[in-house]
Amino acid sequence: MIRLEKIFKTAGLFFIIVFSFLIVNTSLRAETVLAEENIKDSIYLDKATIEKGYTVSSFDNKFKLSLVPGVFNETTEVDSEIIKEDMPMPWKLDKVSSVYQFDFKNKESYNNHKPFYIEIFYEEDSLDYKQVFFYDKNFNKWRPLPSTDYPNKKFIRSLIHLPYARIAVFSNPDILITGQASWYAYKDGNYVASPDFPKGSRLRVFNLENDKFVDVEVNDYGPDRSIFPERVVDLDKEAFAKIANLGEGIINVKVEPIFIPEEEVYRITGVRDVGAEINPTIKAQAAIILDNDNNEVLWEKNPDEVLSLASLSKLVALKVFLDQGVSLEKEVFYNKQDEIFNNKYCEPWESAKINLQEGDIITIENLIYASLVGSANNAVESLVRLSGLTRDEFIKEMNQYAQFLGAKTTYFEEPTGLSPQNVSSVKDYAIISKEIFKEKIIREVSSQAGYEFTTVNTKRNFHLRNTNSLVKSGFIPGFSIVASKTGYLHEAGYCLIVRAHSAEKGDIVVLVMKENKRSDSFNEIKDLVEYGFKIID
């Protein structure tokens, strides 16, 4: 668990100072000049002014520095600029203000133990979760500052104690902060249902009509944004009554996160401890984003390193089987002998399989679903047996298919992925999978959250669940998974490939290999899908 203050560290200090101050209206003359690229504003603060305090307002009051008494002990010029030059931007966040720069020219005059307020007006009616960030050139990161959003007035206020900085307001477009709230009877306490913040988070919910607030804990999911697009949260009845009359039913609110569980901070804020990243940070040994339309590599990590494929191998096995032209409706007998091949590489209880009995009659379609949705190794071997090829011929066809596509790093020892000698690189296997995902049946089957069937003769029921939890969870708003496959071996780690679709930008193929945790493979695929669609032309 982590408190939000942890991501608000700047130069090793926590910003925990909150104070009130008097802003003195001082009549000073500011001169604004237009540089070649940046728009500049400069003002001179004399001794009398710094003793009384002053608010530097620049660029039609869109940028303000509230310099209270004690911030300076000597006179100084204060320069402000709107930065027009290209700068690296956080990939996971949206910029909703100009990039501003301020500079205290006489830096020795600044009391760096005395933080001051910055106010930035943002350019859009942004209802998303927003923070002020400063750019840390040493680490090429945008780092967050403690911020308070005033959405009704379209500005955000932040504390800082640096004599020079480039700053901007960024929002997380997936997190709604301002909108409506209703109430429901549940636990009769200070609780809330949220579709954005995970259980265990603590939120401060403001009634925008009367400025009353209540601190609540997230203990439920909802409301459904597909039904209530403007609904931010649903408050427990008792919590709602502390900031409004129950008879109002729905009120306008603003939500401020107080605490988020540590493992969820990055997803909610888009910021890691070190700051907001310019590019995704991927822990998997190798990863790639491939444009499905033109084979352009959009991003890669260790693209040519040869790694174990695990169950990703099943994609090529299914392609070779489909090329034999066997009817999907054909009814076949299950043969226990198929499982013997699996046992060469693992103990019988270690192999993922579907518990069919000798003599069960099923369809070829059932076996295909079991192979891709349930990742059943015995189902793959059944398809090999039923393909019309010998097993050796089948494996030879798998290798020839990879060679035909120019995948020189790819080799298959057997068809299921149980052998660690089934290997490829992410670059080769992304290209292979891109071709395989052209098969409609593979796309349809591998993107299903589940599948049920009944054996023809014994009437035994089977319920399969996709090993890719992203398929089951609905993935990312605005994008969809149209094909996928998971894989795991001790030697291979967790592997995952998806073909993701965007209505505006088409399809991309994203692959991660040799990740240490299954959950990390899912999270990193989501990051790479979002990043890929963000940078694609």
Structure letter (DSSP) for residue 51: H
CATH of the domain at 219: 2.40.40.10
Asked, as a colleague might, if the bond just before 163 is cis with ω within 30 of 0, I would say no
Contact 296, 290 (CB under 8 A): yes
- Does 278 fall in a domain? no
Within this chain, do residues 374 and 471 fall inside the same structural domain, yes or no?
Answer: yes
Two structure tokens written together for 441: 């049946």
d(CA 147, CA 118): 9
Within this chain, do residues 494 and 354 fall inside the same structural domain, yes or no?
Answer: yes
Two structure tokens written together for 116: 């001051």
- Does 274 fall in a domain? no
Query: What is the residue range of 355's domain?
Result: 286-535
Within this chain, do residues 165 and 184 fall inside the same structural domain, yes or no?
Answer: no
Amino acid sitting at position 302: N
Within this chain, do residues 65 and 181 fall inside the same structural domain, yes or no?
Answer: no
Q: Please identify every stretch of the chain with a pLDDT value under 50, giving residue numbers as ranges.
A: 1-35
- Does 460 fall in a domain? yes
Two structure tokens written together for 87: 């700068």
The predicted pLDDT at position 16 comes to: 33
The predicted pLDDT at position 123 comes to: 75
- The dihedral region occupied by 213, where left means phi > 0, alpha psi between -120 and 50, and beta the remainder, is beta
Two structure tokens written together for 239: 């919590």
- Does 281 fall in a domain? no
Amino acid sitting at position 458: T
**Boundary-marking domain end, from 172, 201, 219:** 172
331 three-class SS: strand
432 three-class SS: helix
Q: How far is residue 278 CA from its own chain's centroid?
A: 14
Within this chain, do residues 449 and 371 fall inside the same structural domain, yes or no?
Answer: yes
The predicted pLDDT at position 268 comes to: 84
Within this chain, do residues 373 and 242 fall inside the same structural domain, yes or no?
Answer: no
Two structure tokens written together for 465: 């669940």
Beta-carbon contacts of residue 158 (< 8 Å; ≥ 6 apart): 117, 118, 119, 120, 131, 132, 145, 146, 147, 148, 167
Determine which helix (DSSP H) or strand (DSSP E) holds 162, and give its type and residue range. none
Within this chain, do residues 325 and 226 fall inside the same structural domain, yes or no?
Answer: no
Burial (CB count within 10 angstroms: exposed 0-12, middle 13-18, buried 19+), residue 210: exposed
Beta-carbon contacts of residue 70 (< 8 Å; ≥ 6 apart): 111, 114
d(CA 170, CA 17): 23
Q: Where would I find the H helices in 94-189?
A: none
Within this chain, do residues 168 and 183 fall inside the same structural domain, yes or no?
Answer: no
Contact 159, 15 (CB under 8 A): yes
The predicted pLDDT at position 36 comes to: 54
Determine which helix (DSSP H) or strand (DSSP E) holds 530, and give its type and residue range. helix 518-535
CATH of the domain at 449: 3.40.710.10
The predicted pLDDT at position 35 comes to: 42
At 269-313, the pLDDT tens digits run: 889 888 998 999 999 999 999 999 999 999 999 999 999 999 999
Closest CA to 180 of 240, 93, 264, 132: 240
Q: How far is CA 311 from CA 352, 494, 523, in A?
A: 10, 10, 19
Kind of pairing, strands 164-176 and 231-236? Answer: unpaired
Closest CA to 49 of 20, 25, 78: 25
- Does 280 fall in a domain? no
Within this chain, do residues 353 and 258 fall inside the same structural domain, yes or no?
Answer: no
Within this chain, do residues 257 and 380 fall inside the same structural domain, yes or no?
Answer: no
Within this chain, do residues 232 and 323 fall inside the same structural domain, yes or no?
Answer: no
SS (H, E, C) 369-401: HHHHCCCCHHHHHHHHHHCCCCHHHHHHHHHHH
Q: How far is CA 177 from CA 203, 232, 501, in A?
A: 10, 6, 27
What's the number of domains the chain is made of?
3
- Does 145 fall in a domain? yes
Helix axes 426-436, 313-322, angle to 10 degrees: 30
**Boundary-marking domain end, from 172, 204, 227:** 172
Two structure tokens written together for 89: 């931007």
Contact 233, 181 (CB under 8 A): yes
SS (H, E, C) 219-287: EECCCCCCCCCCEEEEEEHHHHHCCCCHHHCCEEEEEEEEEECHHHHHHHHCCECCEECCCCCCCCCEE
Q: How many CA atoms lie within 13 A of 353 on its CB side?
A: 21
**Boundary-marking domain end, from 125, 156, 172:** 172
% helix, strand, coil for the chain, step of 5: 25, 35, 40
d(CA 55, CA 75): 15
The predicted pLDDT at position 530 comes to: 93
Within this chain, do residues 372 and 431 fall inside the same structural domain, yes or no?
Answer: yes
Within 10 angstroms of residue 237's Cβ, the number of other Cβ atoms is: 15
CATH of the domain at 26: 2.60.220.50
d(CA 348, CA 331): 26
